[in-house]
Structure 1
Amino acid sequence: MKGGYILYNGKFYRESETLFTGADLYRLNTGIRESFRTENNLVIFAEDNFNYLINSLLSIGLPIPKDWELPRFVRDVSRLLNKNHFYLAAKVVIHLIPGTSGTDYLLTAEEVPVGFYPISEGGLLIDFFDEGAKAPSIYHAYEPSSRFVWIAATRAALSKSKDNLILSNNEGFACESIGGTFGYLIDGTAVFPAPEAQGYCPPILGVVMECAEQFGFEVTEKKEISHEDLLLADEMFLIDNCLGIQLVLGLDSRRYYTTGTTNIAVRLSEMAREEHLRLGI
């Protein structure tokens, strides 16, 4: 039987067991929640994901869990996947939350289609979210009020029958998508939101930038990306830490090409496979 187990501070529990009640439930919203992809029982771009988690802990003042290093992180993920019999591809979610004596961590997993960031045949139709903005906070995606914007935007996307929405920061500039970020191509340049835009930057963002560079695009990060900038772009794409690069066919009434985006997405998939070969998989 597949599934049914989670890993909390290195110990297995059944998904049906109650671990958090009352005030403990609040802890799940005060720390860090991140997801990442695994293939063949290994975390894709494990070092990028682990370093991202460490930097995230430091940015909000949470201590690093005791004895928590890259080998332990990779081993715990592998244990969870084996326990659930998820041997091919999976989405793993990690919660790093304040504990009674340090930082606790919770791992959950679910199966996803195999393929090292497989490229979807169809593209996405998206729009702008105009019912709210990210909070002006240094905590970015870790702040509860910013997470609330994702929830509200998800509801708006469903009501509009859109695949995703572009969110804005408190200054009105585009800064992220629901659960991810974006990039766009214009005149041979690949543009991404800068960290100063206070949007969510997935752990694989640096890898995606490298892929764009390898295909000859000049890569730049921009703090102030207007809605008009996106509507004037030649191509646009979303970046998800578990799904990789998602092609965007249209934003509002604008329709895009996807040739350059597809090349970048193919290179990302190749780099994921190359890392597994390097690790002997």
Structure 2
Amino acid sequence: MINFNGTLQNENNILTPENRGYAYGDALFETIKVSHGKILFWEDHYFRLMASMRILRMEIPMRFTMEFLETEILKTLEAQNLKSSTARVKLLVNRVAGGLYLPNNNDIDYIITAKALPTDFYTLNEKAYEVELFKDYYVAPSLLSTLKTNNKAINVVGSIFANENGFANCLLLNTNKQVIEALNGNLFLIKGSTIKTPPLADGCLKGVLRTQILNILKDLPEFTFEEASISPFELQKADELFITNVITGIQPITKYRKKQYKNEVAKSLLQKLNVKVRLG
């Protein structure tokens, strides 16, 4: 059961070859965590979606308010008996069918799907989590590379590479050979009392949980925070590396090549993140 333009219906009746998200990757999406009817970081998700739609020159319907989309998300969860549990929601917006590369118009369709998640709050996964650089292809840094679009070929191929070679994840490089992010989230590096994450100008995703972590770090005077480029050589000199996304929260990296990492800062930040979730 999915929500297609406000109508709850069977998901098998939606996709056609003319769908522009399928045919051209002409689509955006938000992956959202909802816990017992509470949409986590909803304002950040909403404003990122609106900004992304403007960048792709999609027509934003007048009804697309925060309140409208929140109601549609909760309606979808209720239809699947997930309103009293924790769920992963995907809100996908694509330009309506018609045209070739040049669309016939800029109107949009939206689809909302939901799947249950096993835990209500963020928990720390302390199992072995080894990563490697993915160097077959590179991300060209631009405003488009910071958006959550359907153009995720490098993430798909990188995930296959990681799986075939026994890695939990891979780190992506931009065309300047700087480390920008993981396949499924933003990257943070800790060295001593300094915490770094790549700037958006390097091409990383403008992650919602990245924003939350940045806000938490502003209130931690014991750390110096930098949005600065990360070279591959810095990875093996770091004390900690971790990945962030709204579903997992904070995922510590335990190993990169011969370097083993601690997770003390990741553990502390995760506790603060959960407090923010409860109070927010």
Same fold per superposition (TM over 0.5):
yes
Moved more, 193-202 or 26-35: 26-35
Equivalent position of 1:88 in the other structure: 85
Residue 200 of structure 1 and its aligned partner are, at CA, apart by 1.3
Match in the other structure for 1:245: 250
1:47 aligns with 2:43: yes
2:5 maps to 9
* Segment drifting more, 248-257 vs 205-214: 205-214
Structure 1 residue 270 displacement after superposition:
1.2
Alignment of 1:80-119 (within 5 A): 80-86=76-82, 87-99=84-96, 102-119=107-124
How far apart in 2 are the matches of 1:76 and 1:28? 26
Match 1:221 to one of 216, 227, 242:
227
Is the deviation greater in 46-55 or in 28-37? 28-37
- Give the superposition deviation at 1:101: 6.0
Change (3 A) 1:12 1:106: same
Q: Which amino acid aligns with 1:267?
A: K
Aligned-residue offset at 1:143:
8.2
What one-letter code is carried by the residue in structure 2 that aligns with 1:94? Answer: L
Q: 1:165 to 1:92 in 2, by over 3 A?
A: same
1:161 CA drift (Å): 1.1
How many Å apart are 1:188 and its aligned residue? 0.8
Q: 2:25–2:150: 8 Å Cα contact kept in structure 1?
A: no
Q: 1:163 to 1:157 in 2, by over 3 A?
A: same
Q: How many residues align?
A: 269
Q: Which residue of 1 aligns with 2:177?
A: 172
- State how far apart, in whole Å, the 1-side matches of 2:112 and 2:202 are: 29
How far apart are residue 186 of structure 1 and its match?
Answer: 1.3
Q: Could you tell me which of 136, 143, 147 is aligned with 1:138?
A: 143
Contact 2:129/2:252, CA 8 A, preserved across alignment: yes
2:73 to 51, 71, 77: 77
Shift of 1:27: 5.3
Aligned counterpart, 1:66: 62
- Alpha-carbon distance between aligned partners in 2 of 1:10 and 1:144, rounded to the nearest angstrom: 22
Check if 1:155 corresponds to 2:160. Answer: yes
- Alignment correspondent of 2:17: 22
Amino acid at match of 1:130: K
Three-state SS of the structure 2 residue aligned to 1:110 is: strand
Percentage of identical aligned residues: 19
- CA-atom RMSD in angstroms: 1.9
**What secondary structure is seen at the aligned counterpart in 2 of 1:233?**
coil
The Cα shift of 1:65 comes to: 3.0
Q: Distance in 1 between matches of 2:59 and 2:247?
A: 26
In the TM superposition, residue 166 of structure 1 has moved relative to its aligned partner by 0.2
Structure 1 residue 273 corresponds to structure 2 residue 278:
yes
- How far 1:199 moved relative to its partner? 1.5
CA contact (8 A) 1:27 1:98 kept: no
**Deviation per residue, 1:79-121 (Å, 9 max, x gap):** 1111001121111111111126612111111111223222224
> What secondary structure sits across from 2:190 in the alignment?
strand
Aligned mates of 2:245, 2:175 — CA distance in 1: 22
Q: Unaligned regions of 5+ residues in structure 2, if any?
A: 97-104
Residues 206 and 144 (structure 1 numbering): CA distance in 2 closer, same or farther, change over 3 Å?
Answer: closer
Change (3 A) 1:145 1:267: closer
1:128/1:252 contact within 8 Å kept: no
Which shifted more, 265-274 or 137-146? 137-146
Matched, 1:209 2:214: yes
- Residues 33 and 96, structure 1, Cα contact 8 Å, conserved in 2: yes
Distance in structure 1 (CA, Å) of the matches to 2:169 and 2:106:
39
Contact 2:26 2:150 in 1 (8 A): no
Moved more, 183-192 or 18-27: 18-27
Q: Is the 8 A contact 1:183 1:192 kept in 2?
A: yes
